[in-house]
Amino acid sequence: MTEHIAQTTTETSEPLNFHFDNKFVRELPADPVTDNHRRQVMEACYSCVTPRQFKAPELVAFSREMAEELDLSEADCQSAQFTRVFSGNEVMPDMAPHAQCYGGHQFGNWAGQLGDGRAINLGEVINKNGKRWCLQLKGSGETPYSRMADGLAVMRSSIREFLCSEAMYHLGIPTTRALSIVATGESVTRDMFYDGRPKNEPGAVVCRVAPSFLRLGSYEIFTSRGDIETLRKLVDYTLETDFPHLGAPGKETYLNWFREICERTADMVVDWMRVGFVHGVFNTDNTSVLGLTIDYGPYGWVDDYDPNWTPNTTDATGRRYRFGAQPQIAQWNLLQMANAIYPLIDDAEALRDILNDYVTVYTDKWQQMRADKLGLAEFKPEDEELNQELNRVMQFTETDMTLFYRHLADVSVKDIDADEDTLLAPLMVAFYAPESLNRTDKTEFVAWIRRYLQRVKDDGVDDKTRKAKMNRVNPKFVLRNYLSQLAIDKAEQGDYSLVNELLEVMRRPYDEQPQYHEYAAKRPDWARNKPGCSMLSCSS
């Protein structure tokens, strides 16, 4: 049996000290019904609920960076009270536990009311620097929005969300954060692939943290019901709280707000494309109004480069949320947001212009990002063909996207006229089946490398400078699904050591970290079709 390894917790005489403000519940309309049963919640932004009590909560891991943002010390995080609070077993006096009401388009169809079905917001804290953070427990029990579900989460999905939230932060990608993960000591029944084979799994609770958990669906729900009064209250609250630089509410401010949402979303998706991240279920209810990556469900990282890949089993046929489609899906989602706020603006042309501008904004950011990945000073019109050709040759054989770009920095300009083997040598580590490259494939791949090196030569950048630039945007380490699954397998046996080790590795994804070299390796063959390592479902 695996040795039990967990975070040590201690009782402390110093209680946790938070400054709760709870503006969201103070200023927005509440559900008048206080009984916690499933229902349609009308003319309200949230329902008051209380987290479920668990028998034997145990701290699995915490993020020291997020803890510092909340003015918590390491001793605070290792205290018994911390485990009680962030499992939901202790509600502090100034908290205001609630679940948000929202709707959303799922897979292109309006799904009606959704809401926080297994997430309970504890309240909003203000840190010593005056920054607002909302604390949310995921997997903490039923809410009026749970529909037919139990409001719980399993260790499997909780570890994936905890690790990926923090990995994305350290990659420099806009994201919600994670403070902690706590094992509940109870079992949760899940049918992982909806195939009629449910099983009991260890339960867990993640504490998610963000300035706000509002998403596009938070506004859609009220427009869909014709409740424009509540829509206006929520929009004005959002402007005052999260976009105060835009000024007082009014038509022009609403338009400027929508323009900023579009630009933030473009920034987020460009970063996803930069590192090979696929959200997997990029619905409007999973699209943050702040341009943050939110709701880490069936996400994945592109191992072998394929623009049509999706990690979501539910999306395996239509591939709506495939890697290469994410920019277009973002625009489609933003169109739904434009429809949601139209009643406040009554100017379709102005909204349409902003949506059209999104294409230009995204394209400019996308082009510069691709130039950065190749170590070029700027994107030039002729570089489009260079990138399109790279997109083609990378699909000759299974090519690991992360390793390819990282090791492309090792190809030297001085070797531009070298033989094929010399030019390909630094990149061979990126190929899953190098023997499958035929003579024509090799010739075309090498032709691209020579063309690329000529472009670098024309830029006048030396190899050392180019490599340093490329290594700042092309990570060595990403949270590949198989790594998460290895940590999950251990954690389900009570050994949390790999969760904490991966958290440490992902703190410096752009550094060499030779002591962790094995975590930068290609996906192993055993993980190609293993559940949790390739495709995942929307199940928790």
199-210 and 177-190 strand pairing: antiparallel
Instruction: Count CB-CB contacts under 10 A for residue 245.
Output: 8
Whole-number CA gyration radius for the chain = 24
d(C-alpha 204, C-alpha 201), whole Å: 10
User: What is the token pair recorded at 159?
Assistant: 């570890």
**Opening angle at CA 490, ends 488 and 492, nearest 5:** 70
Smallest Cα–Cα separation from 139: which of 161, 158, 123, 163? 158
**Opening angle at CA 139, ends 133 and 140, nearest 5:** 80
Sign of CA dihedral 32, 36, 41, 44: positive
Q: DSSP readout, 433-478?
A: -GGG--HHHHHHHHHHHHHHHHHHHHHT--HHHHHHHHHHHS-S--
Smallest Cα–Cα separation from 331: which of 266, 274, 277? 266
d(C-alpha 426, C-alpha 412), whole Å: 9
d(C-alpha 308, C-alpha 130), whole Å: 43
Question: Which residue is catalytic, options 236, 271, 285, 304?
Answer: 285
Distances (CA, A) of 214 to 99, 131, 223, 292: 11, 17, 15, 10
Buried b (16+ CB within 10 A) or exposed e, 299-316: bbbbbbbbeebbbbbbbe
d(C-alpha 118, C-alpha 147), whole Å: 10
Spatial CB neighbours of 378, under 8 Å, sequence gap ≥ 6? 368, 371
CA atoms in the 13 A half-sphere facing the CB of 482: 17
Smallest Cα–Cα separation from 61: which of 90, 83, 80? 83
d(C-alpha 257, C-alpha 261), whole Å: 6
d(C-alpha 480, C-alpha 518), whole Å: 12
CB 423 within 8 A of CB 450: yes
List the end-to-end C-alpha distance of the chain, in Å, as a whole number.
26
Q: Is 285 a catalytic residue?
A: yes
Would you tell me the crossing angle of helices 326-345 and 251-275 to the nearest 10 degrees?
Answer: 170
d(C-alpha 425, C-alpha 410), whole Å: 10
| DSSP 8-state assignment for residue 311 | S
Catalogue the active-site residues: 285
